[in-house]
A and B are shown apart, each in its own frame.
Chain A
Amino acid sequence: MSLGKEFTKGIFSENPLFRLTLGLCPSLAITTSVNNGIGMGVAFTGVLLASNIAISAMRKIIPDSIRIPSYIVIIATFVSMVEMLMHAYTPELFTSLGVFIPLIVVNCIILGRAEAFANKNGILPSIMDALGMGIGYTLALVVISAFREVLGAGTFMGYAVFSGSAPSALIMILPPGGFITLGCILAFLNKMQNVKVAKKAKLNQSIAQQQLSSN
């Protein structure tokens, strides 16, 4: 696989949230505003990038039998660093993301990339993989939180969208709104996927028929 492909697969065909449906718990919990979504996405991407590089670099010296504890230690180190950085420089975001920053440690996407990619590939592909996955996850969080913030609070990144009395449905920034939004987006993407597959099958069929008739 080319480096470009390693990068783009995380954004589209293997988007961690919309295609692999990993890391749902923090995604549902913090997507109440676009700012939270971007903040979480950036923190996540930073940790994933650092842990992928470290694990890929050490993949030959980490004994196979204790690889999971080793990954956790590496990931936890970077999460602690990100947490302290956020506490120092973005205190507002730090408070609104709350417990979900330290919980990045157990985010199954990061451990999943370590186990499925970084320990089998070199550093450069691992960097591309981490960037792709991180951007894909951030985009997914922004999409979900944009729907929820606009519908539930009537704002986008803190700015009012509707003039006058906002007809916002409070439920969208409450937990049920997260499930409803994610469910609708997944249903829409799956539908698009099915349409695409059906089109491809039809195309293949007509090509096959043409070949048959020309023979």
Chain B
Amino acid sequence: MMNTQENLLIVTSSPHIHSANSVSLTMRDVLIALSPALLASLYFFRFAAVKVILTCVVAAIVSEIIAQKIMQREVTIDDGSAIVTGLLLAFCLPPTLPLWIAAIGSAVAIIIGKQLFGGLGNNIFNPALIGRAFLVASWPVAMTTWISPLDGVTTATPLGLLKEGVTQGLPTLNQLFLGNVGGCLGETSALALILGGLYLLYKGHIDWRIPFSYLGTVFVLTAITGTLNGEGSWYPLYHFLGGGLMLGAFFMATDWVTTPITKQGRIIFGLGCGLLTVIIRLMGGYPEGVCYSILLMNLVTPLIDRYTKARVFGGVKKHA
């Protein structure tokens, strides 16, 4: 008879493998990934960018502290999520925006978009986009006044020009790629955003499925409509590189909290975002639809998750 006592294994409850990942480390990586776009916006919009970005980040941190104090929650500004929200919001604001409007946007993003829903991890919508949507509805003129980079002359965004049917004197694709065009602070430079997005993909913080299905859908749909309308091959590329698509696809549609967790769900999410973006851009009243498309898909994320849930191993298929 064996002595059972000696052969007992150590039993602990899962998880058994721990990674050193934490919210603050991930947020640090997101900040690293956003830095090329930050440098690009500082280069193109100079002091205007410094003012708006600083205002947004500081206002986001202050609102987070105030909201968490009032709600008697633990103050968690050191996890860096408020900084990321403030920075992302600043990236989708025009450089000439009055600073008090930018500060209100940050406060709305943090307090209404995040803390009222229960704080980080419980928000339904991307907080930065909530802030932007609030500002667009409240101060439509200030939110759509653009300046061209470097010289600061009032201009229109490339997609705005396209919407008005301008064909002569559009910024070149090269300018769009580098970011030397009018637009929101952080959205103009596709190059810088792609670099940051690739860093996040490399680090494994975001899943390729959302950005690729999102970008792919926009490209394919604009290629089809471009061909039908007899536009050249520049047309889909213009939609691909212009506006907030890169910023949205890599940094906002990939938010862990507000997007599906299943693999098929993420592809559906990306497809939906792409479809809505193209519909708003080509048929809607606004020249740009990235913000609303992501917010609308955030709304159906729980539904997508529910219908793409993997069957439990050994479970029985549901009869319809």
Contacts and interface: CB of A to CB of B under 8 A. Distances in A.
A171 B100 contact: no
Interface string A93-113: 000000000000000000000
B279 to A, nearest CB: 22
B112 A180 contact: yes
B interface majority secondary structure: helix
Contacts of B100: 167
In the complex, the 10 A-B pairs of residues with the closest C-beta atoms, listed nearest first = A169-B138, A171-B137, A171-B138, A170-B138, A171-B134, A174-B137, A170-B137, A180-B112, A176-B137, A170-B139
A170 B142 CA distance: 12
A187 B126 CA distance: 22
Contacts of B112: 180
A204 B116 CA distance: 32
Nearest to B101: A167
Contact residue range for chain B? under 10
Interface string B279-318: 0000000000000000000000000000000000000000
A77 B100 CA distance: 51
A176 B112 CA distance: 12
Interface in A155-175: 167, 169-172, 174
A170 B137 CA distance: 6
A145 B116 CA distance: 22
Nearest to A176: B137
A170 B140 contact: yes
A209 B228 CA distance: 83
A174 B138 CA distance: 9
B104 interface: yes
Interface in A161-210: 167, 169-172, 174, 176, 180, 183
18 contacts: A167-B100, A169-B104, A169-B134, A169-B138, A169-B139, A170-B137, A170-B138, A170-B139, A170-B140, A171-B134, A171-B137, A171-B138, A172-B138, A174-B137, A176-B134, A176-B137, A180-B112, A183-B116
Given A170-B138, A183-B116, 16 more contacts: A167-B100, A169-B104, A169-B134, A169-B138, A169-B139, A170-B137, A170-B139, A170-B140, A171-B134, A171-B137, A171-B138, A172-B138, A174-B137, A176-B134, A176-B137, A180-B112
